[in-house]
Amino acid sequence: MGAGIRILVVMLAVAAAGSGVVAQLQRDYYASVCPDVETIVRDAVTKKVQETSVAVGATVRLFFHDCFVEGCDASVIVVSSGNNTAEKDHPNNLSLAGDGFDTVIKARAAVDAVPQCTNQVSCADILVMATRDVIALAGGPSYAVELGRLDGLSSTASSVDGKLPPPSFNLDQLTSLFAANNLSQTDMIALSAAHTVGFAHCGTFASRIQPSAVDPTMDAGYASQLQAACPAGVDPNIALELDPVTPRAFDNQYFVNLQKGMGLFTSDQVLYSDDRSRPTVDAWAANSSDFELAFVAAMTNLGRVGVKTDPSQGNIRRDCAMLI
């Protein structure tokens, strides 16, 4: 499929998915105050990804962790201060790579460097745009994004409890948690494919590769590779690529891996081992275009979670890392 046709099809998919769009969000939200914002962000993100490909998976994961806790409001970027322990210092967020935060900070600095745009664009929207851009830069779909979010007024570690899916979740648990955010099981399966990029620390999947009891849903050869890379007593900072086949490409290899028993987490492999979700995995393993359409629709839905548009709910932070 040609690039122009591919982008058009993806944009049409978003339009179809957006029939019930949050009224206050719109694609041209900054047209009058910062008309070139998407180009400015894309250029800054491109520079960051050229410096390190780690920024791709790191930014995508940052977006997910932001939206699932108090909505897509950039509260995950806020640093702890005084007596407040912020979201980013919750145990579940300590593994968020610094390059994800840096991608947003640098993109925001580039936007603010344009006098017309200074303090006009929210950190939450910067994160949405940056996430779209890293995905496209890694070979994934390019798609239109809805804008107009305000930044959250609070960020607390306690708000993270129970909001993020651990790697041990089964299909019912995953479906339930995503449903709590108005996301369907199809959305969940599509969004799980973000694990086609990024890294995971050995401890997150250690229980699946114990020599005495390797998870039976895992390919034996893959388990051996993981055991060699993550032996007992391994440095807890060691991380492996989530997708061992095309780790730097945003593609549908994730689903092909699941068919081969090469999902890294229990929550990945269960999408294939559970008969209810396996047909979707098989379909997207065979058809990357269908997967991309579903992924764009799911990302659009994710970007609407807990959105704040009323000034009583949020603001545009001058510093993405500070609530003031």
pLDDT in tens, 185-197: 999 999 999 999 9
CATH of segment(s) 183-303: 1.10.420.10
pLDDT in tens, 139-173: 999 999 999 999 999 999 999 999 999 999 999 99
Does residue 113 surpass a pLDDT of 70? yes
Average pLDDT over residues 17-39: 81
Model confidence band, residue 8 (pLDDT cutoffs 50, 70, 90) = very low
What residue ranges of the chain are covered by domains with CATH 1.10.520.10?
A: 36-164+306-315
Query: What string of H, E and C letters represents the secondary structure of 239-302?
Result: EEECCCCCCCCCCCHHHHHHHCCCCCCHHHHHHHHCCCCHHHHHHHHHCHHHHHHHHHHHHHHH
Confirm or deny that 172 is annotated as ligand binding.
no
At 284 the pLDDT is 98
Distances, alpha carbon 190 to alpha carbons 133, 172, 195, 271, 288, in Å: 18, 16, 10, 11, 11
Confirm or deny that 251 is annotated as ligand binding.
yes
Confirm or deny that 73 is annotated as ligand binding.
yes
The two structure tokens encoding residue 138: 């890694």
Confirm or deny that 186 is annotated as ligand binding.
no
Does residue 4 surpass a pLDDT of 60? no
Average pLDDT over residues 170-185: 98
pLDDT in tens, 40-83: 999 999 999 999 999 999 999 999 999 999 999 999 999 999 99
143 alpha-carbon distance from chain centroid:
15
Q: What percent of the chain has pLDDT over 70?
A: 93
Confirm or deny that 310 is annotated as ligand binding.
no
CATH of segment(s) 36-164+306-315: 1.10.520.10
pLDDT in tens, 241-259: 999 999 999 999 999 999 9
At 5 the pLDDT is 44
At 15 the pLDDT is 45
At 14 the pLDDT is 46
**Closest of 289, 255, 251 to residue 272, by C-alpha:** 255
Confirm or deny that 39 is annotated as ligand binding.
no
Mean residue pLDDT of the chain comes to 93
Does residue 13 surpass a pLDDT of 50? no
Confirm or deny that 166 is annotated as ligand binding.
no
Lowest mean pLDDT, pick from 27-41, 64-78, 110-124, 202-216:
202-216
**Which residues are the active-site residues?**
65
At 27 the pLDDT is 95
What residue ranges of the chain are covered by domains with CATH 1.10.420.10?
A: 183-303
Confirm or deny that 246 is annotated as ligand binding.
yes
For the CA atoms of 14, 20, 24, 28, what is the dihedral angle to 10 degrees?
20
| Helix, coil or strand: residue 152 | strand
